[in-house]
């Protein structure tokens, strides 16, 4: 495992209030510009068949209105994803909770946004070592039968239930995720993405004492290819536990070195401390 590079996100030196205020200000400006553009284009489109007797321009205008709506949604999703660096790179649970809580207050009337924020707040609870609170928070969340957001929802539910020793709830979440994957069209991007997440989740939940050589190799691949520092830490901890079970204290000690793992969420730090206590 390569040493940590000390990377920090663009939000590392900002407070939760500063991050939320900047994001919400950007969001309001984008929404205002989008509304103005839709009104202008819509007015031209509606006037076209009445004034110019041109239905082609009317249909084109409608297409542009739809395009603007889609573009705004894509931009919002992309900008919001940058915020995840707070939890994924900086592993700052409290700042993440503060930012998402502020955004949730702003979007309280929009059901989808509210439930997405609840799911992200549940992630904060989980990484704060409060799996029961996280599971309770996600109890009423529903993104719709085929939404890709369910991948995160079912994954987090399974992890929380597993940490609480609730095998029935864990298996129910895994079954729901498998059903979701199977429901996507073969060869589609959604099927591939959800399938990768399912395979990784199944391996992480598989008891380490039952791992075989193929599992070890796959875990090392996932460690190297981890999309975020938080994921990389998690797989390092899985591999350290596996090394301890194999009696390889040297490898476990290297994997658990703070220079490789810092920063960590409280949950990751607790997992590391428990594994360090098992070193001979």
For the stretch 257-264, contacts whose Cβ atoms lie closer than 8 Å and that sit 24 or more positions apart, written own/partner, are: 259/3, 259/4, 260/1, 260/2, 260/3, 260/4, 260/236, 261/4, 261/233, 261/236, 261/237, 262/4, 263/90, 263/91, 263/92, 263/229, 264/91, 264/233
| Per-residue pLDDT tens over the stretch 179-210 | 999 999 999 999 999 999 999 999 999 999 99
**pLDDT for residue 109 is more than 80:** no
pTM: 0.88
Q: 64-68, 94-98, 236-240: which range is least confident on average?
A: 64-68
Q: 41-45, 65-69, 132-136, 252-256: which range is least confident on average?
A: 41-45
Which tokens go with 60? 């084109």
Are 166 and 132 in contact by the 8 Å Cβ rule? The answer is no
C-alpha angle 85-91-93 in degrees, rounded to nearest 5: 105
Which tokens go with 114? 């509210």
**pLDDT for residue 230 is more than 50:** yes
Which tokens go with 41? 């284009």
What does pLDDT average to over the chain?
Answer: 91
Q: Which residues contact 180 (CB under 8 A, 6 or more apart)?
A: 146, 150, 151, 154, 194
């Amino acid at each position: 495992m390569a040493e940590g590079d000390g990377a920090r996100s663009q939000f590392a030196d900002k407070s939760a209030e500063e991050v939320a205020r900047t994001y919400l200000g950007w969001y309001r400006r984008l929404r205002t510009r989008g509304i103005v553009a839709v009104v202008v284009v819509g007015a031209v489109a509606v006037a076209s068949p009445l004034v110019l007797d041109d239905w082609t321009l009317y249909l084109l205008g409608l297409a542009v209105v739809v395009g603007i709506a889609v573009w705004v949604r894509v931009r919002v999703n992309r900008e919001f994803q940058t915020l995840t660096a707070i939890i994924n790179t900086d592993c700052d649970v409290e700042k993440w909770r503060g930012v998402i809580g502020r955004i949730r207050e702003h979007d309280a009337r929009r059901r989808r946004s509210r439930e997405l924020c609840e799911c992200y707040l549940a992630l904060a609870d989980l990484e704060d070592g409060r799996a029961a609170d996280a599971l309770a928070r996600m109890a009423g969340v529903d993104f719709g039968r085929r939404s890709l957001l369910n991948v995160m929802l079912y994954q987090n539910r399974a992890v929380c239930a597993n940490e609480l020793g609730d095998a029935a709830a864990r298996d129910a979440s895994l079954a729901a995720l498998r059903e979701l994957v199977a429901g996507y069209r073969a060869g589609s991007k959604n099927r591939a993405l959800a399938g990768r997440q399912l395979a990784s989740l199944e391996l992480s939940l598989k008891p380490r004492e039952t791992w075989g050589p193929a599992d070890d190799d796959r875990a090392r691949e996932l460690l190297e290819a981890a999309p975020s520092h938080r994921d990389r830490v998690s797989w390092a901890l899985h591999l350290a536990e596996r090394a301890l079970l194999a009696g390889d204290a040297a490898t476990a000690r290297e994997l658990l070195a703070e220079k490789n793992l810092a920063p960590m969420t409280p949950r990751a730090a607790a997992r590391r401390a428990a594994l360090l206590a098992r070193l001979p």
